């Protein structure tokens, strides 16, 4: 199957989904330094008599025999000839799930398959080549040739129109055929996340293009761009971004940190979300493992620069607490391996939430002894787990607090956030509960 022809991919998906019988697939990986896929493993998904989904993965013998083979997930799926099994995440190993779309991409796939109930395997197989990380999936043992053509930044106006139609579940704009949408939207929606987005390419490489929704309460794209800049000023390593204005609407372009353009094509970094590192489930009812403290421990195990990364994670936790980024769930943190070594990825998806409570705000992940409480004393309570001395941790908190206090507004305005939007988001910054009960001890 030649996947560089999007029509071909769609056709095969429709066959698979109408039969609903795809229970196994091959897992391909782009090895460090390479630009083409090789076949790494076989993945099988079955449902047992109790209705529980079980995933099984086995590396191919010839893959294991390569001296440059890398694991799909060094902790859960180390290179070995054994059969790995899982029932977590509906039988989809975290590393594979991380390469699968979330709400937004799923919605588009469903729309084009004409079905709302697709299996996890369908989502894996249907997503095209520009998914996050270095993995690919297919029904053929032979991996597909890499895609040669991608949406370009200049296609954004059309993509934006399509996205609007999908958000409103509307008919497509006049003169646009469903097939056209399939071609352009599917090639670009395998990234995760809930907000509308597409992947586009320009001469510098790949970008995640995040679109405003017509029903947004403020200009999200400009605000997110400003937060990435503010984060950098607070000492965080954030993804590179820029704003482009298309048809009078702002689009946030975030540079993909898992792709590297070369003369031969794109190198790909392997990528694992924090959800996978934590071996956690992805629903809020089942979140006992959602924790920065546990994540710091996992990061120390996997990272080739454990101290720097644990401390960077601490900084991100403080930053999120101080901008009330309560959407800091485990899919909004990741590790990447461009070569053999794993490191914390640049920070992305930083969004302030202007909540009403001035005393108590919770982040999505546990930050310390007082749970998810976005509070300085709580953040300090486990700072040793982030390989920080108490005085170092205090200084990080104080510095980030000061920078946000003095700089958020200026940076937001500089990056084009309107006065009105600044007023709308202002309550997100330095809320008073952050320092509650801490003055005497600190």
Residues that bind ligand ADP (CB under 6 A): 132, 191-195, 197, 208, 239, 254-258, 331-332, 334, 348-349
Shortest spacing between CB 229 and Mg ion, in angstroms: 18
Shortest spacing between CB 193 and ligand ADP, in angstroms: 2
Rg (CA), the chain: 22
Question: Is 206:133 a contact under the CB 8 Å cutoff?
Answer: no
Q: Give the integer Cα–Cα distance in Å for 435 and 433.
A: 5
Nearer to Mg ion, 155 or 349 (CB): 349
Q: Kindly list the distances between the CA atom of residue 26 and the CA atoms of 38, 138, 140, in Å, as whole numbers in the listed order.
A: 10, 5, 7
Question: Is 265:36 a contact under the CB 8 Å cutoff?
Answer: yes
**Binding of Mg ion at residue 221 (CB under 5 A)?**
no
Taking residue 224's Cβ as centre, other Cβ atoms within 10 Å add up to 22
Which residues fall within 8 angstroms of residue 177, CB to CB, at 6 or more apart?
none
Q: Give the integer Cα–Cα distance in Å for 162 and 158.
A: 6
**Binding of Mg ion at residue 351 (CB under 5 A)?**
no
Shortest spacing between CB 314 and ligand ADP, in angstroms: 21
Return the H-helix or E-strand segment holding 209.
Answer: strand 205-211
Residue nearest to ligand ADP (CB): 193
The entry of ligand ADP, Mg ion, none near residue 25 (CB within 5 to 8 angstroms by kind) is: none
Kindly indicate which of the ranges 130-138, 205-213, 331-339, 411-419 contains the residues binding Mg ion, using the contact rule CB under 5 A: 331-339
Nearer to ligand ADP, 177 or 215 (CB): 215
Give the count of residues interacting with Mg ion (CB under 5 A).
Answer: 3
Nearer to Mg ion, 229 or 333 (CB): 333
For residue 210, the SS3 value is: strand
Nearer to Mg ion, 282 or 349 (CB): 349
**Binding of Mg ion at residue 224 (CB under 5 A)?**
no
Q: Give the integer Cα–Cα distance in Å for 428 and 434.
A: 11
Helices (H), 20-119: 61-65, 94-97, 103-113
**Binding of Mg ion at residue 193 (CB under 5 A)?**
yes
The entry of Mg ion, ligand ADP, none near residue 415 (CB within 5 to 8 angstroms by kind) is: none
Shortest spacing between CB 203 and ligand ADP, in angstroms: 17
Nearer to ligand ADP, 74 or 193 (CB): 193
- Which pairing describes strands 24-30 and 37-47: parallel, antiparallel, or unpaired? antiparallel
The entry of Mg ion, ligand ADP, none near residue 239 (CB within 5 to 8 angstroms by kind) is: ligand ADP
Among 282, 309, 349, 362, binds Mg ion (CB under 5 A): 349
Nearer to ligand ADP, 39 or 325 (CB): 325
Among 273, 332, 345, 375, binds Mg ion (CB under 5 A): 332
Taking residue 404's Cβ as centre, other Cβ atoms within 10 Å add up to 23
Nearer to ligand ADP, 191 or 364 (CB): 191
Nearer to Mg ion, 105 or 144 (CB): 105
The entry of Mg ion, ligand ADP, none near residue 228 (CB within 5 to 8 angstroms by kind) is: none
Shortest spacing between CB 224 and ligand ADP, in angstroms: 8
The entry of ligand ADP, Mg ion, none near residue 208 (CB within 5 to 8 angstroms by kind) is: ligand ADP
State the Cα torsion 441-385-404-361 to the nearest 10°. -70
Shortest spacing between CB 341 and ligand ADP, in angstroms: 17
- Whose structure tokens read 């601490």? 314
Shortest spacing between CB 28 and Mg ion, in angstroms: 25
Q: Give the integer Cα–Cα distance in Å for 277 and 208.
A: 23
Shortest spacing between CB 349 and Mg ion, in angstroms: 4
Q: With the C-alpha atoms ordered 71, 73, 78, 81, is the resulting torsion angle positive or negative? A: negative
Question: Is 190:130 a contact under the CB 8 Å cutoff?
Answer: yes
**Binding of Mg ion at residue 76 (CB under 5 A)?**
no
Q: Give the integer Cα–Cα distance in Å for 92 and 85.
A: 9
Shortest spacing between CB 331 and Mg ion, in angstroms: 6
Q: Give the integer Cα–Cα distance in Å for 415 and 77.
A: 43
Nearer to ligand ADP, 253 or 387 (CB): 253
Nearer to Mg ion, 16 or 239 (CB): 239
Report helix, strand and coil shares of the chain as percent, to nearest 5.
40, 20, 40
Shortest spacing between CB 164 and ligand ADP, in angstroms: 16
Write out the two tokens for 71. 């694991």
Q: Which residues bind Mg ion (CB under 5 A)?
A: 193, 332, 349
């Amino acid at each position: 199957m030649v996947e560089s022809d999007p029509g071909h991919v769609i056709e095969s998906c429709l066959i698979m989904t109408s039969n609903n019988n795809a229970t196994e697939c091959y897992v391909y990986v782009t090895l460090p330094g390479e630009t083409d896929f090789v076949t790494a493993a076989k993945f099988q998904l079955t449902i047992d008599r109790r209705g529980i989904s079980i995933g099984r993965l086995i590396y191919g013998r010839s893959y294991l025999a390569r001296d440059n083979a890398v694991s799909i997930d060094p902790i859960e799926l180390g290179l070995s000839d054994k059969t790995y099994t899982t029932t977590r995440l509906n039988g989809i190993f975290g590393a594979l799930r991380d390469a699968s779309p979330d709400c937004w991409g799923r919605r588009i796939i469903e729309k084009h398959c004409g079905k709302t109930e697709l299996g996890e395997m369908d989502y894996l197989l249907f997503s095209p080549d520009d998914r996050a990380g270095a993995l690919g999936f297919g029904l053929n043992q032979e991996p597909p040739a890499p895609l040669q053509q991608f949406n370009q930044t200049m296609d954004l106006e059309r993509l934006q129109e399509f996205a609007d139609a999908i958000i409103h579940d509307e008919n497509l704009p006049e003169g646009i055929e469903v097939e056209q949408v399939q071609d352009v939207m599917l090639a670009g929606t395998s990234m995760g996340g809930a907000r509308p987005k597409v992947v586009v390419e320009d001469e510098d490489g790949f970008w995640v293009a995040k679109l405003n929704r017509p029903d947004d309460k403020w200009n999200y794209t400009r605000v997110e761009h400003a937060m990435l800049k503010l984060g950098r000023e607070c000492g965080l390593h954030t993804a590179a971004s820029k704003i482009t204005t298309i048809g009078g609407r702002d689009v946030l372009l975030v540079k993909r940190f898992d792709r590297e353009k070369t003369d031969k094509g794109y190198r790909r970094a392997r990528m694992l979300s924090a959800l996978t590192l934590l071996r956690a489930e992805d629903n809020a009812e089942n979140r006992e493992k959602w924790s920065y403290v546990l994540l710091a421990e996992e990061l120390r195990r996997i990272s080739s620069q454990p101290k720097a990364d644990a401390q960077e994670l601490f900084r991100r936790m403080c930053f999120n607490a101080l901008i009330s980024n309560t959407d800091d769930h485990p899919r909004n943190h990741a590790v990447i391996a461009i070569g053999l070594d794993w490191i914390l990825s640049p920070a992305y998806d930083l969004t302030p939430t202007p909540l009403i409570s001035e005393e108590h705000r919770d982040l999505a992940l546990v930050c310390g002894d007082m749970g998810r409480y976005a509070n300085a004393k709580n953040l300090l309570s486990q700072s040793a787990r982030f390989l920080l001395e108490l005085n170092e941790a205090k200084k990080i908190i104080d510095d980030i607090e000061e920078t946000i206090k003095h700089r958020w507004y200026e940076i937001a305005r500089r990056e084009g956030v309107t006065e009105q939007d600044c007023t709308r988001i202002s309550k997100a910054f330095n809320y008073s509960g952050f320092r509650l009960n801490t003055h005497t001890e600190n």
